[in-house]
Each structure stands twice: as C-alpha cells, then as structure tokens.
C-alpha cells in the first residue's frame, strides 16, 4: 500500500536517465523544487541547454546515483528503464519510471502550492495530461469555498459548503454581487440533457433579470447536494434576498413541503403550474410520472426535464420535455417578472 508524502528536495540530488520531453518535464519540476540535477542521455532536447543542470557521462552518473534522493528513468527503452530502477533500488534510492509496472517506488505528481494549501494529483500514469486540469479545478473550487467560509458567521455550515456542486458554488460566488436571487425549484434529474436544460433556463433568466443571480435547485433528495432548509440557511447567513419559483405540474407534496420550509425563513415564492395537456394531440394519451398507465399506443410522455428512466419505462411513447419548449420558458419568465 502506498502513502502520499510531501518531500523536501531543496539541495537534494536527483538523477534523471533520458533526454527527451518527459525527462525535460521532470527536470523542470525538480529544478523548481530546488534540487540539483544530474542527467545522462545519448541525445538531449535543445531546451536542456538553457537549464542549470549537470550533464554527465555514464560512469559519473552511476557513481552519483548512490548519493541521490531520487532516480527517474525517462528513456524510450523499457528494458533500460527497468535496469536503471533496479540499480537505484540497490543503492536504496527512491526510483520513478515513465513506464508502468516497473517496480518503481514512487510516482511524480502535478502540484499546486501556496502558504495555506498543497494540492497534488497523479493518475497512476494512465492519463497524465489530465493531472494539470484536475489540480486547477480543485484549486479554483477551494478558493471559492474559502471566500464563502470567511463570510459565514455560523461555521457549522462549513460542512454543507463542501457538499455544494459546481453550479451552486458558482451561484453563491456570483450572488454576493447582486444580493438577490431567483431560484427555480424542480423535482430533478441527473441526465446530461436535463442539466443542459437547466443551464438554458438559468441563462435565459440571467438575460431577463440582470439584477438577479439565477439558479435551479432540485427537491428530490437523490438529486440534491444540500437540502432546501440548508440552502435557505446559507442564503439567510449571506444576507441574500431570494425569490423561489416552483416548476411543478400541481401543488403536491414537494410544493407544499418546500413552501413550508421557505415560509419559515420569510422568503418569497411562487408556483408556476404548467398544463401538460398543451403538449398532446387529440388522438394521444397523456402519460406522466404522476399519472402512470399501461397504455402506450398513441401516447405522449410529458416531463418537466429530460428523464432517461421515464423513457425506458415507456419506450414506444413520444417524449416531451417542457423545458425544451421556448414558449414554456418565455411564459415562466413572464410570470416571474410579474411576481418580482
């Protein structure tokens, strides 16, 4: 079993075998960490001539290896790399290879570092190009979380901040500028198309109500990052004035329970009830998750958002997703505008 360690390399010797692009990348990484680099290769990338390193012959290289803190094999020959790894281990030197499954002791990671935080990532050599993007995403997320945490009075809510998905994290970052929000409440769905539909509604809402920050929020627990009560607590804690918009077929359990929670905080809300019958033709039978049926011939399945599950239940039915309809979104925005 491996353990991640943050090791100091200032003035440490690192021996690198190879002179190609991988070796160049590793050389730069450990030079930045303050290491002294000894390198041996038959050929070198031209950029090596601009770096403060020690290019040495094979005998000097192997002699220096015994004093090294780390040995890195970066040639394009797997057998040469493996032999170098075994030699380094005989000298009890930590060893790393650009090839998989060569009994290396360690992997190099992509790292972001500041005085408060160290983020490090590697993909076991399976997707090294992704490492930098993953670390950058983590760092951006943690910077937003730090800003939000510093604005909290009730630090018990810090645990809930960590659970926020990217959409809601960005929402809170933006809403500090406007101090007022429109939050569209839906049952929810995790499909990619459903999330695109939500983003479309959010963008249309932002364009219509520039002085507000808009987002969507799912009321079904399996689609939530935080629950509605916690969302309201955060909004109250950050002194944000929200306007909640229920987008449901009828005033059922989700609407009634949600309204009760929102009322406890004294926030505004409205319910926009969309008539599903507008999407069916005269000869068709309406199917909804609230009105299941065994009849699927000449049937139309109507859902607020895309739903792969409902599609699978009624594969022969025509599927309609309301938030794909421009007129539905225009009506939603019209009614929201009337209530603000």
Residue 102 has what pLDDT?
Answer: 67
Distance CA 18, CA 80 (A): 10
Q: Is the pLDDT of residue 175 over 90?
A: yes
Residue 184 has what pLDDT?
Answer: 97
Closest CA to 65 of 101, 43, 46, 39: 39
Residue 5 has what pLDDT?
Answer: 81
The β-bridge relationship of strands 118-121 and 110-113 is antiparallel
Task: Decide: 23 and 41 in contact? Cβ < 8 Å.
Answer: yes
Distances (CA, A) of 161 to 57, 143, 147, 155, 234: 55, 12, 11, 10, 9
Closest CA to 314 of 326, 325, 299, 304: 299
Taking only the tens place, the pLDDT of each residue in 55-73 is: 999 999 999 999 999 999 9
Q: Is the dihedral of CA 33, 36, 42, 43 positive or negative?
A: positive
Residue 292 has what pLDDT?
Answer: 57
Range with lowest mean pLDDT among 69-83, 164-178, 281-295: 281-295
- Rg of the chain (C-alpha set): 29
Residue 293 has what pLDDT?
Answer: 60
Residue 99 has what pLDDT?
Answer: 77
Helix (H) or strand (E) holding 64: helix 58-65
Distance CA 256, CA 253 (A): 5
Range with lowest mean pLDDT among 59-73, 77-91, 199-213, 306-320: 306-320
Q: Is the pLDDT of residue 53 over 70?
A: yes
CA 1, chain centre distance (Å): 27
Range with lowest mean pLDDT among 1-5, 26-30, 124-128, 326-330: 124-128
Q: Is the pLDDT of residue 291 over 70?
A: no
Residue 114 has what pLDDT?
Answer: 75
Residue 278 has what pLDDT?
Answer: 86
Categorize the per-residue pLDDT at 312 as very low, low, confident or very high, splitting at 50, 70 and 90.
Answer: confident
The burial class, CB within 10 Å (0-12 / 13-18 / 19+), for 299 is middle
Q: Vertex 89, ends 87 and 92: CA angle to 5°?
A: 125
Mean pLDDT computed over 158-168: 90
Contacts of 107 (CB under 8 A, 6+ apart): 96, 122, 124, 125
Residue 228 main-chain phi, psi, to 5 deg: -65, -40
Tell if the pTM clears 0.85, that is, is over it: no
Mean pLDDT computed over 205-231: 95
Q: Which string of DSSP letters, residue by residue, matches 213-248?
A: EEEEEE-SGGG-SS-HHHHHHHHHHTT-EEEEEEEE
Q: Is the pLDDT of residue 36 over 60?
A: yes
Mean pLDDT computed over 177-202: 94
């Amino acid at each position: 079993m491996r353990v991640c360690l943050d090791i100091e390399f200032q003035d440490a010797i690192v021996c690198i075998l190879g002179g190609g692009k991988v070796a160049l990348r590793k050389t730069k990484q450990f030079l930045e960490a303050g290491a002294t680099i000894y390198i041996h290769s038959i050929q070198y990338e031209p950029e090596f001539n601009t770096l403060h390193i020690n290019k040495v012959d094979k005998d000097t290289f192997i002699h220096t290896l015994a004093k090294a803190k780390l040995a890195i094999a970066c040639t394009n020959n797997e057998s040469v790399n493996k032999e170098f790894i075994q030699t380094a281990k005989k000298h009890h030197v930590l060893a790393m290879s650009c090839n998989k499954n060569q009994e290396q002791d360690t992997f190099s990671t992509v790292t972001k570092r500041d005085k408060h935080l160290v983020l490090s990532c590697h993909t076991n050599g399976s997707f090294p190009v992704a490492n930098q993007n993953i670390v950058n995403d983590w760092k951006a997320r943690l910077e937003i979380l730090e800003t939000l945490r510093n604005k909290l009075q009730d630090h018990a809510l810090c645990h809930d901040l960590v659970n926020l998905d990217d959409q809601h994290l960005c929402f809170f970052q933006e809403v500090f500028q406007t101090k007022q929000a429109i939050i569209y409440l839906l049952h929810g769905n995790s499909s990619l198309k459903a999330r695109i539909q939500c983003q479309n509604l959010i963008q249309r809402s932002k364009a219509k109500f520039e002085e507000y920050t808009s987002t969507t929020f799912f009321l079904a627990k399996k689609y939530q990052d935080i629950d509605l009560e916690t969302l309201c607590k955060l909004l109250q804690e950050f002194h944000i004035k929200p306007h909640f918009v229920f987008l449901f077929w009828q005033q059922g359990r989700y609407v009634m329970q949600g309204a009760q929670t929102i009322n406890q905080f004294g926030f505004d809300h409205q319910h926009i009830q969309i008539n599903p019958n507008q999407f069916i033709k005269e000869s068709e039978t309406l199917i909804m998750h609230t009105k299941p049926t065994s009849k699927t011939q000449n049937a139309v399945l109507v859902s607020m958002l895309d739903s792969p599950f409902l599609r699978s239940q009624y594969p022969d039915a025509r599927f309609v997703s309301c938030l794909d309809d421009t007129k539905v979104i225009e009506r939603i925005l019209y009614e929201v505008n009337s209530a603000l």
